[in-house]
Structure 1
Amino acid sequence: MRFRSMAAALLGALTTTLAAHAQTKWDLPAAYPANNFHTENLAQFAADVDKATGGKLKIQVHANASLFKANEIKRAVQGGQAQIGEVLLANFANEAPIYALDGIPFLASSYAEAKLLYDAQRPVLDKQLGTQGMKLLFSVPWPPQGIYTKKLINSVADMRGIKWRAYSPATAKIAELIGAQPVTIQAAELSQALATGVVESYMSSGSTGYDSKTYEHIKNWYDTQAWLPKNAVLVNKKAFDALDKPTQDAVLKAAADAELRGWKISQEKNDWYKNALTEKGMTIHRPHAKLKADLKQVGDIMLADWEKTAGAENVAVVQAYKKAQAAMPAPKN
């Protein structure tokens, strides 16, 4: 009897061990609230992977910078502290020129243009991330960026000296060029910064304004449609390579689906966010022609500065994008 009990215990332990080895668990840190469309898309991606692999690969999404802060996620994935993570590419402009393209005003200011830019960027993004031990799974844009401000503005001159939220090198550079006072604030800290008066203006999408309840503190949003920064979902290459081929294929298929779904949802939510902000008491302004012209000049300066140091391979990305942009059909009236 004792022998049988020991055998049963060993068998049970072996079964548990095999089951543990059969299932892989990944952590996916994200910087935005659970009800943000990016995070909801990540949750669907994780569910799709779970279903496609029969539970073999479990991905847990950690929303709202609960596992790592926004600016820590890329390093966490690169170092293997997290197997997979979502980052805002423009946050890492100081690391590589290819990331900076996501924050240059009026380079790509519509979904169609943003997609052309992404298609031109993708090979260089893949190469850059590969040198850092990572792989790009998919990318989804934010809605077009506008300006949140307490006071009415008609030109860049009206923003001089304003306390401006900077969340990336690009938005800090914009502050410098328009004479604003940059304050580094990540998304998860924005509501508190607005409530305490640490910032009084910033540039972002309708999505950020809604998620952070900016309408409780600021009543004006200028729909400048300046650019569409992208979130990218990165995976640690060693973690990905450790998966068997069917599981890898399931991840890549779920990622492709998430990218298509995410672009569609972003575009659909753009008008929804603007309507929601209006319902919360915010006024959506069409920017004055002088303001748009001033911001376009800021974008031209930033692009020219970028091209001086970006290198031939990165400059070729912009050239390819502009060639594709020129071939776009004219928008219908």
Structure 2
Amino acid sequence: MLKLSRAVLIGGVALGGLASTSSFAEKWHMPTPYGDGNLPTQIAYSFAQEIKDNTKGDLDITVHSGGSLVKHTEIPRSVKTGQVQVGEVFLGILGNENPVYKHDNIPFLATTFDDAKKLWEAAKPEVSKQLDKDGMMLLYAVAWPAQSLYSKEPVNSLADLAGTKMRAYSPSTSRLADLMGTTPTTIQVPDIPQAFSTGIIQAMITSPSTGVDSQAWDYVKNYTDVQAWIPKNIVVVNKRAFRRLDKATQQVVLDAAKHAEAAGWTKVAARAAKDKATLIANGMTVSEPSPQLLKELQAIGKTMAEEWKAEAPKDVGAILSRYQK
């Protein structure tokens, strides 16, 4: 089989990816930002397989995991412009485009899976509306385990982090790092080990799954289980590509998306527990946050929630009103 370069492959998709013929199976490409060991990627593979099975191969989606086809930050634009038909993205990285995308990156707004699911249902109408304006349609979302603190040294209060550099991966996490008295430094998942090893960062707040994926025990020893928020990946489809499908195939895609989202919410809690146990098994110290640290982080969460609402009072207010009912 010939190996095509990334540029050639994307160019080919851009020229012919949205075209449909009656003689050949429809071929779609689905870039994802995370590796095969992560739950969202595993669900993406199942999503694609269900569609292939239920269309008898008439719609064949190739999943390109780990940023292998399109870099994470470029995935939304690639879907929007039709270079690829469907893609997965961490919702929080869209925060600079519209405040509604920040809802699941606000510390302590929703810290349990039940609350996070309720928040998602409250935010979904506003998120869908904004995606629609950009030529995309929401298919499904997959939650991550709650985000907690990784550090080289034990942290009992924010004073212990003063002057350090903290990994940021979205506008909200950059603001959080600022409010914590640290310096935000944008680092994507594949670069985490090197960033710690070379002193570019000394701390991060992320999920136990990301810690396992990047083998956090090789560069940090402390995991403080603050469970600050529960973010999500979303999977979106180019509207033109979706509309070119016949009605029966559209329904297969929508059904598969419904099943994928249900699987994500069902499996995420078990994955969180498994990955936390893996951190412990590899020698990391996993501890509960001190009352002082928790109080300080909750105060930051309140500040960020107020700032978030001030960015877009109508849209954010609608999300909070539905969530708080």
TM-score by length of 1: 0.90
CA distance in 2, matches of 1:22, 1:252: 22
Deviation at 1:68, TM superposition (A): 1.3
Aligned twin of 2:239: 237
Q: Which one-letter code corresponds to 2:299 in the other structure?
A: Q
Q: Residue deviations 1:123-169, cap 9 Å, x none?
A: 11111110010000000110001000001111112111111101100
Could you say what secondary structure the match of 1:44 adopts?
A: helix
Contact 2:193/2:219 (8 A) holds in 1: no
Deviation at 1:100, TM superposition (A): 0.9
Deviation at 1:20, TM superposition (A): 7.4
Aligned twin of 2:12: none
Q: Residue deviations 1:93-147, cap 9 Å, x none?
A: 1111110111100000000000000010111111111001000000011000100
Q: Where do 1:190-209 residues align within 5 Å?
A: 190-209=192-211
CA distance in 2, matches of 1:165, 1:40: 25
1:24 aligns with 2:22: no
Q: Which one-letter code corresponds to 2:243 in the other structure?
A: D
Aligned twin of 2:176: 174
CA distance in 1, matches of 2:287, 2:86: 38
Q: Residue deviations 1:311-332, cap 9 Å, x none?
A: 3132121122022xxxxxxxxx
Match among 310, 321, 324 for residue 322 of structure 1: 324
For these two proteins, the number of residue pairs brought into alignment is 306
Deviation at 1:182, TM superposition (A): 1.2
Could you say what secondary structure the match of 1:22 adopts?
A: coil
Contact 2:25/2:59 (8 A) holds in 1: yes
Aligned twin of 1:5: none
CA distance in 1, matches of 2:22, 2:132: 30
CA distance in 2, matches of 1:20, 1:282: 56
Q: Residue deviations 1:203-250, cap 9 Å, x none?
A: 000000000111111011111110000100000000000111111000
Aligned twin of 1:42: 44
1:146 aligns with 2:111: no
Deviation at 1:263, TM superposition (A): 1.1
CA distance in 2, matches of 1:80, 1:296: 41
CA gap of 1:27–1:162, structure 2 versus 1, over 3 A, is same
For structure 1, the 5+ residue unaligned runs are 1-17, 324-333
Contact 1:31/1:188 (8 A) holds in 2: no
Q: Where do 1:45-60 residues align within 5 Å?
A: 45-60=47-62
Contact 2:308/2:316 (8 A) holds in 1: no
Q: Which one-letter code corresponds to 1:313 in the other structure?
A: D
1:280 aligns with 2:271: no
RMSD over aligned CA atoms reads 1.2
Q: Which one-letter code corresponds to 1:25 in the other structure?
A: K
Could you say what secondary structure the match of 1:265 adopts?
A: helix
Contact 1:65/1:188 (8 A) holds in 2: no
CA distance in 2, matches of 1:153, 1:257: 40
Deviation at 1:92, TM superposition (A): 1.0
Match among 37, 60, 63 for residue 61 of structure 1: 63
CA distance in 1, matches of 2:315, 2:192: 36
Aligned twin of 1:3: none
CA distance in 2, matches of 1:277, 1:263: 22
Q: Where do 1:263-302 residues align within 5 Å?
A: 263-302=265-304
CA distance in 1, matches of 2:107, 2:152: 22
Deviation at 1:196, TM superposition (A): 2.3
Deviation at 1:81, TM superposition (A): 1.0
Aligned twin of 1:163: 165
Q: Where do 1:81-160 residues align within 5 Å?
A: 81-160=83-162
Q: Which one-letter code corresponds to 1:229 in the other structure?
A: P
Contact 1:194/1:214 (8 A) holds in 2: no
CA distance in 1, matches of 2:322, 2:263: 26
Q: Which one-letter code corresponds to 1:295 in the other structure?
A: L
Contact 2:110/2:116 (8 A) holds in 1: yes
Aligned twin of 1:7: none
Aligned twin of 2:77: 75
Contact 1:147/1:223 (8 A) holds in 2: yes
TM-score by length of 2: 0.92
Q: Residue deviations 1:10-45, cap 9 Å, x none?
A: xxxxxxxx9874311111111101121110110011
1:225 aligns with 2:215: no
Q: Which one-letter code corresponds to 1:138 in the other structure?
A: Y
